[in-house]
Structure 1
Amino acid sequence: MGKLKVLFHLNEPEKWQGTFSSIINFVKDVGQENADIEVVANGAAVSAFSEKCRIAGGSGETSTSCGKATGELYEEMNKLAQMGIRFVACRNALRMHSLDENMLPPFITVVPAGITEIAKKQAEGYAYIKT
C-alpha cells in the first residue's frame, strides 16, 4: 500500500482538539510510515498559531484572541509536526486576524490562500476531511 494522502481542513479554533484526535486515530490505524498528512487552517482557526496563545496557555488562562487555543494546543501541534504532519496557515486569514506570520512557530508554513492550497492538494490526490 502506498502512502495515504490526507488533508485535514479546519476554520474554527474550537475544532483543533477533534482534529488532533482524528489525526492520531488515522496514524494509529494506517501507521506513520503510510500517512502523508497536511492540516490547513484558515478563518478563525489560525488564531491557534499566535504567540499570544502560547503565552496565555502558560499561565493557565486562554487569551480571547486565541479562541480556545492554549499552550497545550501548541504543544500538541509541535508533537505532531515532529512526526511529519505539516501545518499550513492561510495568509489571508492571518491578516484578517492581525497575526504576524513572522511570529508563527517554525513548523507552520504560510500559503497565500488556504482555499487554493486545499484545491491543489485535492488535485494531487489528497483525501479531503473537513473537521
Structure 2
Amino acid sequence: MKQFKILLLLGALLGFAGMTGCAATGGAKQQEKVVYHVNDSADAKGAMRNAMNHLNASPDAKLVFVTHSKGVDFLFEGAADKDGNPYNVNVEQLQAKGVQFDVCANTLTSRKLDKSKLLPGMVIVPSGVAEVAKLQAFEGYVYIKP
C-alpha cells in the first residue's frame, strides 16, 4: 500500500511538472529550426528543392544551410548545375524566405577560394562542421543531410 501511495505521488508530481512546462511557454508553438548540411554541391539542387518544399509545408520554419568542402561551390557567382541551370536563382528565392546560407572559412582558406566571389548574403563561419554541431547542440536545430 505504501508503494502505491509513493507511485501515485510521483505520478502527480510528474504530471504537475509537465503542466508547468507548458505554462512556461504560454502554450506557444516553438519555432521549427533545421540545419541542412551540404558538403557536395552535387546535392545542392535537391537540397534547395527539399528546403522549398519544407517551407511550403512549414512557412515559419527557420532553415540554415551549412556548407563546407565541395558543398560551397554552388554559392559562388556564376555557379550552375550539370544542366547549366544557375544556382543563384534558387538561393535568392530561399533567402527571400529567410533561409540563411553559411560558408566554411576553413574551406575557403584551404581551397584558396575568393570570398568576394560568393553570392550576396552569405555568412562565413569559422568551421562548417563545428557550425552544424553548434546549431544542433546549443540552438536546438534538427539535422538534415540531403
Q: TM-score, normalised by structure 1?
A: 0.80
Q: 1:70 to 1:98 in 2, by over 3 A?
A: farther
Which of 63, 74, 91 is matched with 1:77 structurally? 91
Matched residue, 1:7: 35
Which of 13, 18, 24 is matched with 2:46 structurally? 18
Matched residue, 1:49: 75
The letter for the 1-side match of 2:62 is: D
CA contact (8 A) 1:78 1:107 kept: no
Q: 1:88 to 1:70 in 2, by over 3 A?
A: farther
Q: CA deviation at 1:121?
A: 0.3
Which of 27, 31, 34 is matched with 2:55 structurally? 27
Q: CA deviation at 1:51?
A: 2.7
Q: Give 5+ residue unaligned stretches, structure 2.
A: 1-28
The letter for the 2-side match of 1:117 is: E
Secondary structure at 2:131's aligned position in 1?
helix
Secondary structure at 2:87's aligned position in 1?
helix
CA contact (8 A) 2:136 2:143 kept: yes
Matched residue, 1:125: 140
Which of 66, 74, 83 is matched with 1:40 structurally? 66
The letter for the 1-side match of 2:66 is: V
Q: CA deviation at 1:52?
A: 4.5
Matched residue, 1:95: 109
Cα distance in 1 for residues equivalent to 2:50 and 2:75: 19
Which has the higher Rg, Structure 1 or Structure 2? 2
Q: Give 5+ residue unaligned stretches, structure 1.
A: 63-67
Cα RMSD, aligned residues only: 1.8
For 1:96-120, what per-residue CA distance to the aligned partner results, in whole angstroms no more than 9, with x for missing partners?
3321113312211000100111111
